[in-house]
Chain A
Amino acid sequence: MTQTTTSGQPVATPRGTRPAGPRRATLVAGLLLGLAAGLLVALVSVGVGARQVPLDQAWAALTAYVPGDIAHEAVRSRVPRTVLGLLVGASLGLAGALMQGLTRNPIADPGILGVNAGASMFVVLGIVVLGVTSPAAQVWFAFAGAAVAAVAVYWVASLGRGGPTPVKLALAGACITAALTSVITALLIMNTRAWDTFRFWQVGSVAGRSLDIVGTVLPYLVLGMLVALASGRVLNALSLGDDLARGLGQNVGRARGLAAVGVVLLCGGATAAAGPVAFVGLTVPHVARAITGPDYRWILPYSGLLGAVLVVLADVLGRIVAHPGQLQVGIVTAFIGAPVFIALVRRRKLAEL
Chain B
Amino acid sequence: MTTSRTRTASTRAVATIASSLLALGALGACSTDTTASSDGSVAVGDTDAFPVTIEHAFGETVIDEAPTSVATVSWANQDAVIALGVVPVAMPFSTYGGDENGYLPWTLDALEALGDERPTLYSDTDGIPFDELELAGPDLILGTYSGMSDDEYSQLSKIAPTIAYPEVAWGTDWTTQLDVAGQALGLDDEAAALQTEIEDGIATAVESAPEIEGKTFAYLAFSSTDPSVVSYYTPTDSRVRFVESLGLVIAPSIVELSKDSAEFYGEVSAELADTIDADIVFAYVDSPEHLAAVEADPLLSAIPAIASGAIVVLDDPTFILSTSAPSPLSIPWAVREYVPLIQEAATHVE
Contacts and interface: CB of A to CB of B under 8 A. Distances in A.
Contacts of A319: 269
Interface in A27-79: 49-51, 67-68, 70, 73-74, 76-77
Interface string B167-178: 000000000000
Interface string B263-301: 000111111111000000000001101100000001100
Contacts of A247: none
Contacts of A201: 225
Interface string B74-98: 0000000000000000000001100
A74 B225 contact: no
Contact of B272 (A81, A208, A324): A324
B14 interface: no
A40 B146 CA distance: 53
B10 interface: no
B226 A50 contact: no
Interface residues of A, number: 31
Given A77-B298, A205-B226, A197 B286 contact: yes
B271 A51 contact: yes
B224 A134 contact: yes
Highest count of chain A CB atoms <10 Å: which of B225, B226, B274, B299: B225
Given A73-B298, A197-B286, A207 B272 contact: no
Interface in B280-336: 286-287, 289-290, 298-299, 302, 317
A325 B231 CA distance: 9
Given A73-B299, A76-B298, A192-B317, A207 B228 contact: yes
B95 A208 contact: no
B223 interface: yes
B299 A200 contact: no
B304 to A, nearest CB: 11
A324 B257 contact: yes
Interface in A64-111: 67-68, 70, 73-74, 76-77, 81
A328 B96 CA distance: 27
Contacts of A49: 269, 271
A36 B350 CA distance: 48
A134 B294 CA distance: 13
Given A193-B96, A197-B286, A325 B224 contact: no
B227 interface: yes
A77 B224 contact: no
B125 A50 contact: no
A326 B270 CA distance: 10
Q: Main SS of chain A's interface residues?
A: loop
A20 interface: no
Given A133-B286, A192-B95, A208 B125 contact: no
Given A51-B269, A192-B96, A208 B226 contact: yes
B272 A51 contact: yes
Given A77-B228, A192-B96, A50 B267 contact: no
A201 B226 CA distance: 8
Interface string A170-201: 00000000000000000001101100010011
A117 B63 CA distance: 53
A193 B290 CA distance: 15
A276 interface: no
Given A70-B274, A73-B298, A133-B286, A197 B225 contact: yes
A193 B94 CA distance: 13
A209 to B, nearest CB: 8
B274 A208 contact: no
A326 B269 contact: yes
Nearest to B287: A133
Given A70-B302, A76-B298, A77-B298, A207 B226 contact: yes
A325 B270 contact: no
A135 interface: yes
Given A74-B299, A189-B125, A200-B223, A325 B286 contact: no
A240 B229 CA distance: 49
Nearest to A72: B298
A76 B269 CA distance: 14
A211 B286 CA distance: 21
The 5 closest A-B pairs by CB, nearest first: A50-B269, A325-B267, A208-B228, A51-B271, A207-B228
30 contacts: A50-B268, A50-B269, A50-B271, A50-B272, A51-B269, A51-B271, A70-B271, A70-B273, A70-B274, A70-B299, A70-B302, A73-B298, A74-B299, A76-B298, A81-B228, A133-B290, A135-B224, A190-B95, A192-B96, A193-B96, A200-B226, A205-B225, A208-B225, A208-B227, A208-B270, A319-B269, A323-B269, A325-B229, A325-B269, A328-B226
Given A189-B125, A324-B257, 10 more contacts: A49-B271, A51-B269, A51-B272, A74-B271, A77-B270, A77-B298, A207-B228, A208-B228, A208-B270, A325-B269
Interface of B: 95-96, 125, 223-229, 257, 266-274, 286-287, 289-290, 298-299, 302, 317
Interface of A: 49-51, 67-68, 70, 73-74, 76-77, 81, 133-135, 189-190, 192-193, 197, 200-201, 205, 207-208, 319, 322-326, 328
